[in-house]
Structure 1
Amino acid sequence: MHERSSVGELAHQLRQEFDRYSPGGKLPSSRALVERFRVSPVTVSRALGQLAAEGLVVTRPGAGAFRAAPPPAATAGGDTSWQEVALSADGAADLVPRTVDASGVLATLAQPPPGVIELTGGYLHPSLQPERAMAAALSRAGRRPGAWGRPPMEGLPELREWFARSIGGTVTAAGVLITAGGQSGLTTALRALAPPGAAVLVESPTYPGMLAIARAAGLRPVPVPVDADGVRPALLADAFRATGARVFVCQPLFQNPTGAVLAPERRPEVLRIAREAGAFVVEDDFARLMVHEDAGPLPRPLAADDPDGVVVHVGSLTKATSPSFRVSALAAHGPVLERLRAIQVVDTFFVPRPLQEAALELVGSPAWPRHLRAISAELSNRRTQMTTALRLGLPALALPHLPSGGYHLWLRLPDGTAESALTSAALRAGVAITAGRPYFSAEPPAPHVRLSFAAVAGPAELTEGVRRLRTAWDEAGPTS
C-alpha cells in the first residue's frame, strides 16, 4: 500500500479508539502499533505526528504518546458585519473592482470527494510524478555547502543559466529571475506592466487563474478570440487600437484550455502588432515540458525571437513535476527587468534556497530526461484513450482540436446544454469535470467542458470516468 494512504488509515484507526483513553492516558507503544497493524515504524511515527499536529496527541521523547487534553470550549464569535462596509468602501474609488474570484482556480486545485474520479486536475497524478528523483535531489541539495543560507535575490546563478538556455535566443542568465511557481510569475508580471484600471488583452478562452490575477489587481481583461492556430492577429490588432492596452497575455504553446499552438506565420505577427502598439506580451509557457510523444518539433518560445524586449516570459518546472515543486522563471530584457525584480523582492524576498538547489540537482540528473520521456509517452497514450472513449460513448461532445501537448481536452457541448447542470450531474455520477464558463472573460460563444487526463490513476480510471460522464449526460444533456 502507498505510504501516504497507510499513514492516513492508521491515524483514522487511532482516532476511532481515542475514547479508550482518558486525557493524559498513554497510547500503545510504537512497537505494539507496528505489530498490531502490520505497518512500518515510519508509518507509525508519521501517523502519530499527524495526530499531534491535529492537537489530539502529545508525544514525549522517551516516554511515548499520550492523549491530549480537550481544547477549551470555543467562545461565541463576535460581530464581523462591519467588515462588509469596510471592504466595500475600500474599493469605492477603484475604476475596476478588485474582487478576488478564486472559483476557476479552485475547480482544478480542490480534491473531489472520496470515490469521485478526478477529470479536473491541473497536475500529474502522484504515480506520474518523479517522486524518487525529487526526493533524491532534495536530499543531495540539503547537503550542499550553504544550502540553507540566503540565496541571491534574483535566484541561484546556475539555475538562472539553466532557464536561459531552455528559452534560447538572446536570453541570458542576467535577464532571468527565479520565482515561486508560474502563478507567482504571472502575478508579478501583471503588477509590473499594467496600472489598476487598465485594460489587459487576454486570449479567449484562457486560464482562469490569470483572469483572477488580473481582476484582483484591478485590471480589465479584454478577450481576443483564438482558433486552432492560436490567437487571431487581426483581432489582436483591433483590440489594441480599441482599448489602448499595453499588455497581452498569451499561451503560444498548448494553450489552456484549447491546446492550440500558435502557428508559425502568426508568431512574428503577434510580436509586430504588440511592438507597434508599444505593448508587452506576457508569454505563459506553462506546458512546454508536457509535449506528447507523437508531437513534431516544438517552436521556440516567443522570447527567443524577441530582441526588443517585447516579451516577458514565464516558464515553470511545476507542471512536469509536482504541485509542491514551485520553481519557475521570469525572463525579460530592458528596463522592465528592474521593475519585475523590485516587485518580486517586495512580495516574496526570494524563493527558498533548498528548493532552488533541489531544482538544480533534479534537472542535472540522469533521471530528468527519463522522466520527461516517460510522461511524454503516458500523456500521449492517455489523450488517445480519452479521445477514443469519448468518440464511442459521447459523440455529441465535439473536440474541435486534438492537442499535441498538455494534459486536457476542450470539448464543445451542443447548443442549449447547461454546463452547470452537466457538471452537477457528473458529480452525482462520481466524476468531477470542469465547466467552460470560467475560461471566458466575457460572454462565451457556446457551452464547453474541460476534461483532464493527467490526474487520474491510470487507464482503467480514465475509461470509468468517461462511462460515468455518459451517465451524467443521459441525465442532464439536451433532450433534442
Structure 2
Amino acid sequence: MSRTTAIELAAALRRDLHRYSPGEKLPSSRDLVQQHQVSPVTVSRAIAALVAEGLVVSRPGAGVFRAGSRSTAAPAGDTSWQEVALSAEAGAPPVRSTDASGVLASLRLAPPEVIDLNSGYLHPSLQPERALAGALARAGRRPGAWSRPPLEGLPELRAWFARDIADGLTASDVLIAAGGQSALSAALRSLAPPGAPVLVESPTYPGILAIARAAGLRPVPVPMDADGLRTDLLAEAFAASGARLLVCQPLFQNPTGAVLAPERRLEVLRIARAAGAFVVEDDFARRLVHADAPALPAPLAADDPDGVVVHIRSLTKATSPNLRVAALAARGPALARLRAVQVVDAFFVPRPLQEAALELVAAPAWPQHLRALTAALRERRTALAGALTGLRPELMPAQLPYGGYQLWLRLPDALTPESVTAAALRAGVAVTAGGPYFTAEPPGPCLRLSYAYAESTDQLAEGARRLDRALAEAG
C-alpha cells in the first residue's frame, strides 16, 4: 500500500465531494481502501475528519453520506466517540516503548523558589511523620521483623486490606505490592498479552499509559464527562477494539477528579462481564477525601462476586512517597497470574516495610491523621479554587472535586499547554500540561494543578496569581 496519510486522503475526498448530491452515499470503506491503496485505519481517520467538519455524515451500519446544506447552524454534536474510532486499530504488531515523560513530569521536584502545583504527593507538613517514625521503630523491634516474609505478604496486613476494601474479601484474596504503580504494572502484564488493546479513561493518569506501552499493550481511550467514564461508549469500545481489559479510577479520577455516577457503576461491571473482560480498579485516592464530601460509594470490587474486578488500594498517597505498600485484590485464576508476575518482578515487599504499615494502621494516630488530612485538603482546594475563580473564572470546572488533590482546567483554544507551562515556570510556579494524560489527540488544551505539595494556603493563592501572569504572557 502507498504511504498516503489520513490528511492527504481527507483532502482528496474533500475535493471529490462535488460529485455527490446532498444525502448521496459515498463509496464504502472497502472501496476507498482499494481505490486509494491505503489501510482501513487511514480511511477511518480521513472520514472522521470530514465528519468533524460537517461535510459528511456517518451512519453506523449504513455508510457515509454527503451532508445536506443547512440554512442555520445545527447544535454542536458529541464527537467523543471518535477517540475510540481513531484508536482501535486492529492487527497492529506489539510495540514495546518506554515513555516515562509523563511520569517524570509528575515526580520532578520544583526548585525552592518555584511554587509546586505539579506534585501528586503530600507536602511534608501533611505527612504523618511522627506516626510513621513510631511505626517504623516499633516494627523494627518485632520478633522476626528482618526474616523473609511470605511471598503474598504478611497475613495480618493482607487481612487488614481485605477488610478495608470490601466485605466478603479475605486475606487469601489479597497480595501485597510495592506501591500502587507496581501493582498497576503487575495487573496489566498479568491480564493482557503483548499486543493486546487495553481500554483506559480519557484523560487518564500518564503512569497507566506508560505501563501499558512498556508492556507492549495498545491503550484505547474511552471518553469521560463530569460523571466519570462514559458507559454509553464503553460497550462500543470493547467491541471495536477487542479489548479484554479496562483500567479505571472510579473515585476522584486523576486528572479530572470525577466520581463515577451511581447508575454507571453496575453498568461498567455488566458491560465488562458481557465482553469477557477484567476491570482494574485503581482506588488510589480513597484516603484523600475532603472534609465536606458526601458519603463515598463503595469500590466496584464490593459489587463483584465473579472476579471481574482487580482492585488496587495503596497507603502511599495518604502517608508518604516512601511508604510504598499497596494491595492487589482479585479472585479466581487471575490471582495466580498476579502472584507469578509479582514474584518474578520483586520476590516480595520488604518485611520491615510491611510491619511498619501494620503498626501505622493499627495505631490511634492513624484515624487522627486521616481526619486532619481531610480537613487540610478541603482547605487547600478552597484556597486554590477561590484564588483562581477571582482571577480566571472562565477556566474553572463546573463542579469542584470533593476528594483527591488536583484541579483540571480547560484552557482557551488559542493557548497551548506547553506554552503556558513554560511561561508559568518563568513566573515561578510549576504546573502540569494536559497532553500526556491523553492517548489520542486531546480534545482541547488542559492543565492540571495540584494543591497537595504547596507549603500553605497562602502559597497556593500566590501560585494562582503567578499562573494568571503566565496566562497573560502566553496569550
1:111 to 98, 109, 112: 109
Matched residues, number = 385
DSSP-derived class of the 1:377 partner: helix
DSSP-derived class of the 1:253 partner: coil
CA distance in 2, matches of 1:401, 1:275: 32
CA distance in 1, matches of 2:472, 2:243: 45
| 2:339 counterpart of 1:347 | no
Shift of 1:95: 1.5
Shift of 1:459: 1.1
CA distance in 2, matches of 1:400, 1:106: 30
Structure 1: gaps spanning 5 or more residues: 1-92
Q: Which deviates more from structure 2 when the two are superposed, residues 167-176 or residues 138-147?
A: 167-176
CA distance in 1, matches of 2:94, 2:400: 37
Q: How does 1:94-133 map to 2 (within 5 A)?
A: 95-133=93-131
CA distance in 2, matches of 1:260, 1:323: 23
CA distance in 2, matches of 1:276, 1:170: 23
Shift of 1:471: 1.0
CA distance in 2, matches of 1:250, 1:287: 12
Alignment partner, residue 246 of structure 1 = 244
Amino acid at match of 1:203: E
Residue by residue over 1:95-117, the C-alpha shift from the partner in whole angstroms, topping out at 9 and shown as x without a partner, is 23211111111111011123011
Q: How does 1:374-453 map to 2 (within 5 A)?
A: 374-453=372-451
TM-score of the pair, normalised by structure 1: 0.79
Amino acid at match of 1:153: L
Residue by residue over 1:407-433, the C-alpha shift from the partner in whole angstroms, topping out at 9 and shown as x without a partner, is 010011111211111000000000000
1:232 to 218, 230, 233: 230
Q: How does 1:111-190 map to 2 (within 5 A)?
A: 111-190=109-188
Alignment partner, residue 68 of structure 1 = none
Residue by residue over 1:202-247, the C-alpha shift from the partner in whole angstroms, topping out at 9 and shown as x without a partner, is 0000000010000000100000011111111120110001111000
DSSP-derived class of the 1:259 partner: coil
DSSP-derived class of the 1:222 partner: strand
Counterpart contact for 1:400–1:411, Cα < 8 Å = no
CA distance in 2, matches of 1:459, 1:239: 42
CA distance in 2, matches of 1:109, 1:96: 28
CA distance in 1, matches of 2:216, 2:380: 39
CA distance in 2, matches of 1:430, 1:381: 23
DSSP-derived class of the 2:311 partner: strand
Q: Which deviates more from structure 2 when the two are superposed, residues 395-404 or residues 97-106?
A: 395-404
CA distance in 2, matches of 1:171, 1:253: 20
CA distance in 2, matches of 1:105, 1:370: 31
Alignment partner, residue 287 of structure 1 = 285
Q: Which deviates more from structure 2 when the two are superposed, residues 93-102 or residues 439-448?
A: 93-102
CA distance in 2, matches of 1:95, 1:144: 51
Counterpart contact for 2:290–2:378, Cα < 8 Å = yes
Residue by residue over 1:141-171, the C-alpha shift from the partner in whole angstroms, topping out at 9 and shown as x without a partner, is 0000000000000000000000000111321
Q: How does 1:189-208 map to 2 (within 5 A)?
A: 189-208=187-206
Amino acid at match of 2:330: A
CA distance in 1, matches of 2:103, 2:219: 16
| 2:220 counterpart of 1:222 | yes
DSSP-derived class of the 1:239 partner: helix
Alignment partner, residue 303 of structure 1 = 301
Counterpart contact for 1:171–1:303, Cα < 8 Å = no
Amino acid at match of 2:195: G
DSSP-derived class of the 1:446 partner: coil
CA distance in 1, matches of 2:233, 2:399: 20
TM-score of the pair, normalised by structure 2: 0.80
Shift of 1:94: 8.5
CA distance in 2, matches of 1:171, 1:262: 22
| % same residue | 71
Amino acid at match of 1:328: A
Amino acid at match of 1:144: R
Shift of 1:259: 0.5
CA distance in 2, matches of 1:389, 1:460: 10
Counterpart contact for 2:388–2:396, Cα < 8 Å = no
Shift of 1:395: 2.3
Residue by residue over 1:118-152, the C-alpha shift from the partner in whole angstroms, topping out at 9 and shown as x without a partner, is 00011000000000000000000000000000000
Residue by residue over 1:252-287, the C-alpha shift from the partner in whole angstroms, topping out at 9 and shown as x without a partner, is 000000101111111010000000100000000000
DSSP-derived class of the 2:390 partner: helix
Residue by residue over 1:145-201, the C-alpha shift from the partner in whole angstroms, topping out at 9 and shown as x without a partner, is 000000000000000000000111321110000000000000000000111111000
Runs of 4+ in 1 over 4 A off after TM superposition: none
Structure 2: gaps spanning 5 or more residues: 1-90
CA distance in 2, matches of 1:473, 1:232: 31
CA distance in 1, matches of 2:152, 2:268: 29
